[in-house]
Amino acid sequence: MYFASDNSSGVPAEVLEALSRANRGFSMPYGADDLMEGVRTSLREIFEAPEASVYLVATGTAANALALACYCPPWAAVYCHRTAHVEEDECNAPEFYTGGAKLVPVDGPDGRMEPERLEAALDAAAPGGVHNTQKGMLTITNTTEAGTVYSPGEVARLAGIARGHGLPVHMDGARFANALVSAGCTPAEMTWKAGVDVLSFGGTKNGLMGVEAVILFDPRKAWEFELRRKRGGHLFSKHRYLSAQMAAYLADDLWLDLAGRANAAAARLSQGIAALEGGELRHPTQANMVFAAFPRAAHLRAREAGAAYYLWPFGQSLDGPAETPLSARLVCSWATTREDIDRFLGLLRG
């Protein structure tokens, strides 16, 4: 009953096997390995983007920060949702990699930026000339940090506003596969066809050990990205071990299969909680995360039995009346089992 984070699961057997296979003999370092050639080809096909540049790094923070740094100058602003990972969970990595850009939060319910607020933020940034932070770029998180999913149309609306101000668009897709499976669209529809210039294509949360792709749909930034990656210490000498994982992830739609499992688990969990007496969803469950409230007593029973998850937001007390609802974040992964979910729901029910 481990719902603390999708980054606490392991990797599927295919990934371990791919590492074993990749381990044979000598291999060209730094991304010149044969496996990377295949990864590049696969991602270009999957995204219907034959010109795209594709790179691998090992952490989502690196993917995001490097992508932002390629598009946002130090004197400009990155517009993001207030709860975005780049704003809340990266210890100023975007500021570091951009050389001091400013992240400007844009609000909206359920982890989604409201187009009107983005428009307002951009209009507010307009008049000041050299004294003010310049408008830099937009970053959209999909799956959002609230477990919701932007549809391609919603992405296109936000990206269109940014582009109307001349700004490029990044998508933080640490949970891109979960969003895609949820939205039921193609990768191209979710990204470049909707106006996205650069994508952090997550693998780690969805079954890899620590591999993320960065896909630059416009390859003119490719060389700059390579220099920034190296200068950030994110270029792997034994790159084949990243390539092998990503190749296994893409083969036979494993990535979509894993995300489908995680999303299905979350749906089951979400429905179970919603059906509880005193159970209530805090955000719609659209991908692999459930945000829900249920009575304190239910929390205590679950925790006593070893369930792991975060109260969300932090700071709610486990001491107090038994019926008071406390909110939690419950994250499913490809490895979450039906048994665990049902056992957990049973505990909640008491």
Q: Is 168 in the site for a second copy (CB under 8 A)?
A: no
Rounded to whole angstroms, the Cα distance separating 54 from 45 reads 12
User: Could you give the C-alpha distances from 341 to 147, 272, 280, in angstroms and in order?
Assistant: 18, 9, 17
Q: What are the E-state strand segments in the chain?
A: 53-57, 76-81, 102-106, 134-141, 169-173, 198-202, 212-216, 280-281, 289-295, 310-311, 325-331
CA atoms within 13 A on the CB side of 284: 11
Is the Cβ of residue 99 or residue 346 nearer to a second copy in the bound state? 99
Q: Does 337 bind a second copy (CB under 8 A)?
A: no
Task: Examine residue 234 and tell whether it contacts a second copy (CB under 8 A).
Answer: yes
Binding segment for a second copy (CB under 8 A), chosen from 69-77, 179-187, 297-305, 319-327, is: 69-77
Determine which residue in the list 11, 149, 185, 247 makes contact with a second copy, applying CB under 8 A.
11
Among residues 50, 166, 233, 321, which is the contact residue for a second copy, using CB under 8 A?
233
Q: What DSSP character marks residue 308?
A: B
Q: Which of 314, 317, 321, 339 binds a second copy (CB under 8 A)?
A: 314
Nearer to a second copy, 18 or 140 (CB): 18
Question: Distance between the two ends of the chain, CA-based, in angstroms?
Answer: 16
Instruction: State which residue, 102 or 165, has the beta carbon closest to a second copy.
Output: 102
Q: Which of 250, 218, 188 is nearest to 15 (CA)?
A: 250
Q: How far is the CB of 332 from a second copy (least distance, A)?
A: 12
- Binder to a second copy among 130, 317, 319, 339 (CB under 8 A)? 130
Nearer to a second copy, 101 or 345 (CB): 101
Contact 329, 289 (CB under 8 A): yes
Give the Cα separation of 301 and 292 in Å (integer).
16
Q: Which of 161, 164, 178 has the alpha carbon at shortest distance from 106?
A: 161
Residues 243-302 that bind a second copy (CB under 8 A): none
Provide the minimum distance between the beta carbon of 24 and a second copy in the complex, in angstroms, as a whole number.
7
**Binding positions for a second copy, 205-224, rule CB under 8 A:** 205, 209-210
- Exactly one of 96, 114, 119, 284 binds a second copy (CB under 8 A); that residue is 96
Window contacting a second copy (CB under 8 A); options: 91-99, 155-163, 266-274, 323-331 = 91-99
Binds a second copy by CB under 8 A, chosen from 238, 252, 253, 338: 238
74 touches a second copy by CB under 8 A: yes
- Using CB under 8 A, count the residues that bind a second copy: 78
Q: Which is nearer to a second copy, 231 or 252 (CB)?
A: 231
Q: Is 62 in the site for a second copy (CB under 8 A)?
A: yes
d(Cα 163, Cα 136) in Å, to the nearest integer?
11
Say how far apart CA 46 and CA 282 lie, in whole Å: 34
Q: Which residue in 41, 51, 92, 252 binds a second copy (CB under 8 A)?
A: 92
Taking CA atoms, 68 is separated from 40, 140, 200, in Å, by 21, 12, 10
With CB under 8 A as the contact rule, the residue among 230, 277, 305, 323 that binds a second copy is 230
β pairing state of 289-295 and 198-202: unpaired
Task: Give the single-character DSSP code of 133.
Answer: P
Among 308, 337, 338, 342, binds a second copy (CB under 8 A): 308
Comparison of 233 and 321: residue with beta carbon closer to a second copy: 233
Element (H, E) at 218: none
Q: Which of residues 42-61 bind a second copy (CB under 8 A)?
A: 57-61
Work out the number of other CB atoms within 10 angstroms of the CB of residue 171.
Answer: 29
